[in-house]
Structures are given as structure tokens and as C-alpha cells.
Structure 1
């Protein structure tokens, strides 16, 4: 009888152990199932962590304060066309843009699905305020309106630093990836860009041709060298400069046709600002530059005058598409 009672107790204990093991297995399955149901970006550990603090920055005499975003922005206003270019490549939804001077390759943002937030240098504060945006992205052209825009929404400066272009371009692009959870896409895009840079550097390293960069518009002519608005040609691409002493002024170093002749570049790169300033695209820059004085240069004699795309060089500097396009423009001079 005692043996029978002992056997009964042992069987009961075994059943309890088996039940406990089964519960643990079910719990593991439930945990695994809940993990599988998480968004892909969370499973990979790539989700942007909010609140997100963006450090302040300076641009010459202008200072832009640190801002904190509590969540991923949904209503996004963009004034800087280069940053708009990058957001477009990354597939980020934008709500408002400055439509007046939009580059043609970004013309979809001129449609009725997007709020026109005013001109590049004259924001429409009322239109922006009525949108109740989560963030506003600006660059140098909107610096004077920064304080007023900051009262409406967190305002982030995303202009490029011409004296340290490559780093600032990468910083802005990586910021876009971080804010909108697109870090992987940004890393791939930057890798592709760097490959193009190496491609053009390999070409320019083998050439002894020296280049001059000029901006033509509104009846004036300006030269640009290293560390300037168009200095990437020398600083990043490795093109040799016809004049090493050009002042790195914001609007270039004012020059004459005689200066171009005396500098005698082997390659002449021309940015025509009138072609994008005028609503109908009309410009007299080409006719003005191609005169007898400039005609005495090696660049003209050897057919090496190249008109750079003013939309990417003048309007949309610092975008993923525009920066790749700029390399293609300069490559033409060395192919």
C-alpha cells in the first residue's frame, strides 16, 4: 500500500515538471512571435531614436541654435533645394517647398500637393504657419529669416560649407538619414558618390590641363577658385587651377574678359546664372563670353569651354543627385 502511494506521488511530480517545461516553450514561442511582429527597422536596430537633438551650427556671421525633435517629422518644409534633392532620393515625404525657382528635375514639387512657402529669400510666414510644420530646413538664402521661422517650428540649417565641402555634404546627408530612419540608404548613396569622386580624381591626376571657373550673369563676370562656391572642382575632383590666387568670396572674385585671356586656362568652366534667374530661361551670358578677347585662350582654341548645369551648380548644391550630376559635368572635360 505504501509503495502504491509513493508511486502516485512520483507520477504527480513528473506531471508538474512536464507542465512547467511546456509553459516555458510556449512563452519562448510567444516572445519570438512578438519579435517577428516588430517593424523591420526596429528588428535591425536601425530605428531613429527620439527625442532627437540636432546640434547648432554657424555660417559666417549667422548662428543657428540647437533644436530637439520629439518625433519623426511628418509635415516637412524645405527651402534648400540640395536638401530637397536628397530627401527626394530617400523617398521622404515633403509638405511645403519654395516653388518659385525650383530646378526642372525637382518640378514635381511645384504641384498642388505641395504648399508654396514663398520665395527663397522671402518666405511666406503666414502660409508656413498655417501648415503647422514639424520642421523647417533652410540654408544661407534664408539666414535673415531664421529667427522668424524658428518661432513657427524647429528650424535646421543644412547649407554646405564651401571651405570644407565634402564633410559638410556628408554631415547633411547623414542627418537626413538619421531624422527619417534612412541611415542604410544614406550609407549606400555616400559610398556610390565616393566611387564617382575616385573615378574623376583618377582622370584629373593624369591631366596637366589647368582650369578656370567663372560665373556669368546680370552683365557681370566672377571667378571662383579653391574653397569657393564651385571650389569642389579643385578641392575634391583634383582639377588643377589656372589661377591659385582667386579670393574665396561668396559672390566670387569680380573679373574682366581681359583677366580670362591673361589667365589663359586650358579648360574654361562657365556657370550661367541668368539661365535660372530669368523665368523664360533666356540668357546673354554665352554670347557675352564667346568674344574675341576670351577667344584668344587655349580653352577656346581647343574646344574646351564647358557650360555647367546651372540648376545643380547654382540652385541645388549639396544634393545626392546634384553632386553626382556635377561630377558628370566635369568628367566631360577629361573624357
Structure 2
């Protein structure tokens, strides 16, 4: 499917503000969340990172020329692909200046207000690539899924979101990259006031026991990136965690880690996470 040529400069809402884009006929994308949403819209790319991690983008990875990695783009390959626009995001934005030697670059990073940015980026891509109708359909679908999640989460008590990385653990509260879970599901925070940080607040098993959440949502970073360290299940399987309300009630939810950790803010990543949360809270 060919990407339409812009007939005039298009103002695009980016993470850095409104930017004029004169052409998006040939776009290379160095951000998995952006590739996720563009794939849902049916936009083809002239370049992408070699590894996209998430299973539902396997065809995109196989069919799109390799432009290096998220952290180390291949500038020679990008120049050969001759894009007239390059999109970067959270893990690749540090390479923005280097990439600008090849073609104009826009930053479409996802900020802490993940749901709002998911929808804003979707609308921006729809306008930029002549897919506004499809973007509106996807936004309405997202709205319906969020309504089902809000209904499932009514009166379900408190939650704690924990990311494991081998034996290490961190927790995320409102205002953080995973804080949208509380807002969307209507759950209270079992541990309010956590430091808002990309890497979360470092915690221990004792911390989880003291927070004693009704629901424990777990994201296994090691599994997300293919590391071979201790699994989230092994890390959490201790007497302290086993004594929590979440554990004794069977309300420990291991969220699909790769879409959420790698592609968070992408349309499909978000719908998968929302549906998993809805299913868990509906049981």
C-alpha cells in the first residue's frame, strides 16, 4: 500500500510541539510504538529497526528494510532508503540530530499521559498520511475498550503495578509510564505517592507486603527484551508476597510484557493491554 504524497505542508502535533511536514511519501520510523500505530493505519515504511520485538509486527520487520537498532541507527542504510521523513520516539530520540543529516525528523515520543498521547499520535498520523477516517475508527474502538475496562474495574479496590528485571523490582504509580492503568481501571493506588520516574521506584518484597494490594499487575522486563534472568513469577514467589490480598485471592496479573514495555503508546499494544486488564478484572 503506497503512502500518499502530501500536496502541501502539513502541521503535525509532535512531542516537541507543532511541526510543519512538507512530505511523508517515503517515511522511515525508528520507534516501535509509532510503527505499531502506523501499521494499524495501513501505512507502509521504507525503513525500520531490525528488531521490533512484538510478535504482531513480525511481517513489518520482515518486509521493511533494516535501518539498524533503536539506539544505533544505520545512517548509511537510511541514506540509501532515501526517506523524506524520519520518525523517532522514546528510545531513539537521542539520535534525532544524527538522523536529521539524512532527512527531516519528527519526535513522536509517548509521554507520561500515555492514553492521551496514544490518541494524539494516532490522530496526527491519520492527518499526515491521509488516514483520518481510519484513525477515527481506531480511536472509537479504543474508547469502547476503555469503557469496558472502566466497568470491569468498578469497586475492585486497590492495585500495585510492579516491573521486575530479574531479581530487581520497581513500582509505578499515577503519572508514570504505567500509571494509566489506575486511571483507566478506576483502581486506587495501594502505594500512593510513588516517585514518578522512567525506571519506577525501587521496591522490595517487604514493600509489596506492606502495600498489600487487592490487585498486583506485573510486567516482566526480562521477558520483554529476551533476557534469560529470573522470571517475574520466580522473583515474586516469596512468603511476603504470598501473604498479600492479591496473591491469596488469585489476583496477580502478569501482563503481556513485550507490547506494554517496548511498544507502549502504540495502538495495538494499548488495546492488548486494555483487553487483558478487562478480562482479569471481570473474573
Change (3 A) 1:187 1:101: closer
The 5 Å alignment of 1:308-323 reads 308-323=255-270
Compared with structure 1, are the counterparts of its residues 305 and 133 closer, same or farther at alpha carbon in structure 2 (3 Å cutoff)?
same
Q: Specify whether residues 310 and 184 from structure 1 end up closer, same or farther in structure 2 by C-alpha distance, changes over 3 A only.
A: same
Shift of 1:132: 1.4
SS at match of 1:244: coil
**Number of residue pairs the alignment of both structures matches:** 278
Matches within 5 A, 1:99-248: 99-111=50-62, 113-162=63-112, 164-205=113-154, 207-248=155-196
Aligned to 2:10: 52
Normalised to the residue count of structure 2, the TM-score between the two structures is 0.92
Distance 2:181 2:13 in 1: 29
Secondary structure in 2 matching 1:116: coil
- For residues 23-62 of structure 1, the aligned pairs below 5 Å read 50-54=8-12, 57-58=15-16
Q: Distance in 2 between matches of 1:237 and 1:50?
A: 41
Provide the rounded CA distance (Å) in 2 between the counterparts of 1:329 and 1:283: 23
Distance 1:313 1:56, change over 3 A: closer
Which shifted more, 81-90 or 93-102? Answer: 93-102
* Alignment of 1:68 onto 2:20: yes
How far does the alpha carbon of each residue in 1:157-181 deviate from its partner, in whole angstroms, 9 at most, with x for none? Answer: 111121x333322211011101110
Aligned-pair distance for 1:273?
A: 0.7
Verify the 8 A CA contact 2:115 2:265 in the aligned structure 1.
no
* 1:288 aligned residue (223, 230, 235): 235
Partner of residue 33, structure 1: none
Tell me the CA shift for residue 289 of structure 1.
Answer: 1.0
* Consecutive aligned runs of 4 or more in structure 1 exceeding 2 Å deviation: 53-58, 66-71, 99-102, 164-167, 281-285
Residue in 2 aligned with 1:263? 211
Separation in 2, partners of 1:291, 1:306: 16
For residue 201 of structure 2, what is the aligned residue in structure 1? 253
CA spacing shift, 1:101–1:289, aligned 2, 3 Å: farther
What SS is found at the alignment partner of 1:160? coil
Deviation at 1:67, TM superposition (A): 4.3
Higher helix share: 1
User: What is the CA-CA distance between 1:91 and the residue it aligns to?
Assistant: 1.1
Structure 2 runs not aligned, ≥5 long: none
Separation of aligned partners in 1, 2:7 and 2:176: 36
What corresponds to 1:88 in structure 2? 39
Alignment deviations for residues 269-310 of structure 1 (CA, whole Å, 9 cap, x no partner): 00001012226x665222111122211111111111110011
CA shift, 1:190, in A, is 0.4
CA contact (8 A) 1:135 1:153 kept: yes
Two-structure CA RMSD over aligned residues (Å): 1.9
Measured in 2, the distance between the counterparts of 1:245 and 1:307 equals: 23
How far 1:184 sits from its partner (Å)?
0.7
Structure 1, unmatched stretches of 5+, are: 1-46, 59-63
- The one-character-per-residue Cα deviations of 1:297-329 (angstroms, maximum 9, x if unpaired) are 111111111100112210111122111111111
Q: Supply the distance in 2 between the matched residues of 1:148 and 1:105 (Cα, whole angstroms).
A: 29
CA–CA distance in structure 2, aligned partners of residues 95 and 75 of structure 1: 6
